[in-house]
Amino acid sequence: MDLEISPLALPFPDMPPIEGVTLRVARAQYKKWDRCDLTYAKLAEGTALAGVFTKNVCCSTEVEMGREQAKRGKARALIVNAGNSNAFTGHRGREAVEQIMAQVAAHLGCDSEDVLVSSTGVIGVPLPKDKAQAGVAAALTADPCSWEDAANTIGTTDTFAKGATVSAMLGDTKVTLNGIIKGSGMIAPDMATMLGYIFTDAAVEPEFLQQCLSAANERTYSCITVDSDTSTSDTVLAFATGKAGNAPIASFDDPGADAFMAAMEDVCRQLAHLVVRDGEGAQKFISVSMQGAVSDDSARKIGHAIANSPLVKTAIAGGDANWGRVVMAVGKAGEPADRDRLSIAFGGIWAAKNGLPLSDYDETPVAKHLAGQEVNITVDIGLGQGQATVWTCDLTHGYISINADYRS
Amino acid sequence: MDLEISPLALPFPDMPPIEGVTLRVARAQYKKWDRCDLTYAKLAEGTALAGVFTKNVCCSTEVEMGREQAKRGKARALIVNAGNSNAFTGHRGREAVEQIMAQVAAHLGCDSEDVLVSSTGVIGVPLPKDKAQAGVAAALTADPCSWEDAANTIGTTDTFAKGATVSAMLGDTKVTLNGIIKGSGMIAPDMATMLGYIFTDAAVEPEFLQQCLSAANERTYSCITVDSDTSTSDTVLAFATGKAGNAPIASFDDPGADAFMAAMEDVCRQLAHLVVRDGEGAQKFISVSMQGAVSDDSARKIGHAIANSPLVKTAIAGGDANWGRVVMAVGKAGEPADRDRLSIAFGGIWAAKNGLPLSDYDETPVAKHLAGQEVNITVDIGLGQGQATVWTCDLTHGYISINADYRS
């Protein structure tokens, strides 16, 4: 199925090289398609590793192994297979992953545990070992490629390549964080799995890298949703080569730690937004800004209830400032809320305050706001200081077409 | 917006009278439409009352008052307003409800607390007192009408009238339970609110009536979903006039109690299924049968995760036996599950067992099953004895059209 480029697509940014990272792509031909589908990132010795993974309890072999590798905290290579997720394939699937790890490790002369593998695509079919072997062999010796080539190669149903780059000063040392990500439906169990990779030349201890990635994840990847479904393979990995030459950061007490954390969150937020912008059938990018909840966690949960509500998402698709559906979504979140303290705004214009529609509410500017591609919903729970922002897209005929017809 | 009759509609059943219940309808003209929109049920003295209500914390005035009335356990009348939900209207909305209660109570010479009121329709607009007063006055003196007339009058976006009738023998006494229900989108905050009413001539103590209705609710209304959204006004009330002459049932130790409970669950299940059959845009009625969960409650939660998954629902709409999406939904439910013990069948044909696709899996009969209007998904978690069945419909272009265009 050929998909049109999302109307919310952004151009691929100009991304500088990261010292200690070399990207290569090859054709494993996991599917019958005329494109590269195997990505290889070679990482310098001493590269630190961190990872966050799907909370779906039916996760893939790659996720189970990745969790263990992230605990070790070091990496020398990443292989990403596109076109076959290798999920629900039992021991044969695991053998395919172990074969790839051994093959790359032999080439680099490293431990096989230092080779990370991700797979995305159809499920229930073991990754074909012969195609994987030939694909990896081709990738190991291919010419280095660009960030955009790699971003395209990890993609499946994505309609555009997704990348982000952020720089930060750690004392006198400039460091760069480059990220690429794939995922469109958020988050389907097969082709639309979210896989994200952040590469930096900063010197960061693995534990602190994990701390930063986990914190950023809470406020970025964990705050986006397209359809409430969560993939069995979702993975975000961070690699720090240490080649920038800064004094290694081990805690927030170290110089530059705050700047690094801010840069990590920035690049993660950009990447997360790009996934929403490629949401299946998305026509509008929706920010749900919560305030006044009893806690930040409560704010995030209510925000998700709103962002996952099919009735809210179809209303926005129809350009309808239906604040009643927002009230409904707040009420079903299971978090503290009081109908008579609730206030709701679209595009900064309050439609309802303290549970009642405003008598002087003018729908004209709100309708104009909802006709645009960027929609802001603000909800004040009126009970406390808890805040959060959740991002999603509208629910359209395009979503139905893509997902009802996917396998056929 | 004129809606076509759901392809899953069932004909209205032949429903006998219930002694002690008289139905009347009138035109309050809450909206500009050419139909009756106010329903009045007069109930014999001594009628017992029970109720179950939405768990949405942002509920309507009618729900707040109904909860208190159900605790009192008796009723003399029911008024249902269609076209205006009276939700998020503050004290003016409450005044309108109190006016209706007083007007009917004066006519019947009863306490105003014995008059139940439900409202469904647009939100944020107080129920107009003048229209309510004229409508109630007309209904109080109208000719009695049929069950089908009442079922049509409580409806809003419903595409067909929904009723069910079940009889039971309590010893030598035959009793009848008649039910009518409205609701299509499950469960929107405005027009598609679910309102259900069960009337029986059995003599049942209020506490036991509540016990039966609550138990039935757990296995019927609480096991249906159209789009995961829950209305701020959902209500199901049960009225027992006692005119059948059986010895009043007060507990499961009384003769006929089991038969009454079974009849209550039967009529509730029929009504609940009718709501799913009128799900917005529904083309297929889907039963998700869970087994092998660690508990019945866990089975129901996993069943809901499957039934609410947009990816599962669009797959069924597309006739796609995409068991991987079912695995994904099981995994995101947050309940105990093990990928390698999971088995999934469509139409009784196992597609995957113990986490792996079956090698001899034949998609032909499954595709034929999915092409029909009634789809059965069976999921065995493989961990325990917990069972549940959850009912839903597919997610189609029709849902988007109805909900993106509703207010316009």
DSSP B363-389: HHHHHHHHHSSEEEEEEE-SSSSEEEE
Is there a contact between B325 and A189 if contact means CB atoms under 8 Å apart?
A: yes
- pLDDT of the residue at A408: 38
- From residue B125, alpha-carbon distances to A311, A313, B32, B100, B131 in Å are 20, 23, 15, 17, 13
B211 sits in which H/E element? helix B206-219
Supply A49's token pair. 């590793």
Q: Catalytic one among B47, B165, B193, B225?
A: B193
B341 touching A, CB under 8 A? no
B344 sits in which H/E element? strand B343-346
**How distant is the Cα of A306 from the closest Cα of chain B, in angstroms?**
10
Distance CA B91, CA A366 (A): 27
Q: Is B153 helix (H, G, I), strand (E, B) or coil?
A: helix
Using a CB-CB distance cutoff of 8 angstroms, which residues of chain B are in contact with residue A188? 311, 325, 328
Distance CA A329, CA A304 (A): 9
Q: What phi and psi values does residue B64 have, to the nearest 5 degrees?
A: -60, -45
Supply B177's token pair. 């339970």
* Average pLDDT estimate for A315-329: 90
Distance CA A273, CA B393 (A): 31
Beta-carbon count within 10 A of B187 CB: 27
Torsion of CA B332, A187, A92, A138, to 10 degrees: -160
Question: Does residue A407 have a pLDDT over 70?
Answer: no
Contact map slice: A 134-193 vs B, CB within 8 A: 185, 188-190
Question: Does residue A406 have a pLDDT over 80?
Answer: no
Distance CA A136, CA A155 (A): 17
Using a CB-CB distance cutoff of 8 angstroms, which residues of chain B are in contact with residue A308? 228
DSSP-H helix ranges across B60-205: 61-72, 90-108, 129-140, 147-154
- pLDDT of the residue at B3: 67
Q: A323-332 vs A310-317: helix axis angle to the nearest 10?
A: 160
Is there a contact between B314 and A190 if contact means CB atoms under 8 Å apart?
A: no
Distance CA A59, CA B393 (A): 27
Is there a contact between A229 and B405 if contact means CB atoms under 8 Å apart?
A: no
The residue of A339, A363, A375 whose CB has the most chain B CBs within 10 angstroms, and thus the best one to mutate to test that interface, is A339
- pLDDT of the residue at A187: 47
CB B310 within 8 A of CB A229: yes
**Which of A58, A228, A395 faces B339 most closely, judged by CB atoms?**
A58
A364 touching B, CB under 8 A? no
Domain spans of chain A?
21-277, 285-404
A371 touching B, CB under 8 A? no
- pLDDT of the residue at B108: 98
- From residue B219, alpha-carbon distances to A49, B270, B272, B361 in Å are 48, 12, 10, 32
Is B314 annotated as catalytic?
no
Of B236, B234, B235, B232, nearest to B88 (Cα)? B232
CATH 3.10.20.340 is held by the domain A285-404? yes
User: ipTM of this complex > 0.85?
Assistant: no
Give the residue from chain A lying closest to B61, CA to CA: A339
DSSP-H helix ranges across A79-193: 90-108, 129-140, 147-154
Q: Is B73 helix (H, G, I), strand (E, B) or coil?
A: coil
Supply B133's token pair. 């007063």
Beta-carbon count within 10 A of A372 CB: 12
Is there a contact between A314 and B399 if contact means CB atoms under 8 Å apart?
A: yes
B116 sits in which H/E element? strand B115-122
Tell me the pLDDT band of A229, cut-offs 50, 70 and 90. confident
Beta-carbon count within 10 A of A17 CB: 15
At a CB cut-off of 8 Å and minimum separation 6, what does B373 contact? Answer: B7, B8, B283, B284, B285
Distance CA B58, CA A305 (A): 13
- From residue B145, alpha-carbon distances to A7, B24, B100, B133 in Å are 54, 5, 21, 20
Q: Catalytic one among A89, A193, A200, A220?
A: A193
The DSSP bridge pattern shows strands B115-122 and B77-84 to be parallel
B344 touching A, CB under 8 A? no
Question: Which stretches of A329-384 are assigned E, i.e. beta strand?
Answer: 343-346, 349-353, 356-357, 374-380
- pLDDT of the residue at B405: 65
pLDDT in tens, chain B (408 residues): 456 899 999 999 999 999 999 999 999 999 999 999 999 999 999 999 999 998 888 888 999 999 999 999 999 999 999 999 888 888 889 999 999 999 999 999 999 999 999 999 887 888 999 999 999 999 999 999 999 999 999 998 899 999 999 999 999 999 999 999 998 754 444 456 899 999 999 999 999 999 999 999 999 999 998 777 777 788 999 999 999 999 999 999 999 999 999 999 999 999 999 999 998 889 999 999 999 999 999 999 999 999 999 889 999 999 999 888 899 899 989 899 998 899 999 999 999 999 888 888 888 999 999 999 999 999 999 999 999 999 999 999 888 887 776 543
The residue of B338, B339, B375 whose CB has the most chain A CBs within 10 angstroms, and thus the best one to mutate to test that interface, is B339
Using a CB-CB distance cutoff of 8 angstroms, which residues of chain B are in contact with residue A326? none
Using a CB-CB distance cutoff of 8 angstroms, which residues of chain A are in contact with residue B338? 57
Supply A307's token pair. 């962002």
Residue whose pair of structure tokens reads 């406390």 in the numeric block: A384
Using a CB-CB distance cutoff of 8 angstroms, which residues of chain B are in contact with residue A371? none
The residue of B1, B57, B58 whose CB has the most chain A CBs within 10 angstroms, and thus the best one to mutate to test that interface, is B58
Contact map slice: A 49-78 vs B, CB within 8 A: 55-59
- pLDDT of the residue at A87: 84
Using a CB-CB distance cutoff of 8 angstroms, which residues of chain A are in contact with residue B322? 406-407
**How distant is the Cα of A227 from the closest Cα of chain B, in angstroms?**
7
Of B93, B59, B396, B395, nearest to A324 (Cα)? B59
Bridge partners of B392, per DSSP, are: B286
Question: Which stretches of A21-161 are assigned E, i.e. beta strand?
Answer: 21-26, 38-43, 48-53, 77-84, 115-122
Distance CA B71, CA B81 (A): 22
Q: B251 burial class (0-12, 13-18, 19+ CB within 10 angstroms)?
A: exposed
CATH superfamily of B21-277: L-amino peptidase D-ALA esterase/amidase (3.60.70.12)
- Number of residue pairs across A and B with CB atoms under 8 Å? 215
Is residue A348 left, alpha or beta, with left meaning phi > 0 and alpha meaning psi from -120 to 50? left
**Which of A57, A320, A332 faces B56 most closely, judged by CB atoms?**
A332
B359 touching A, CB under 8 A? no
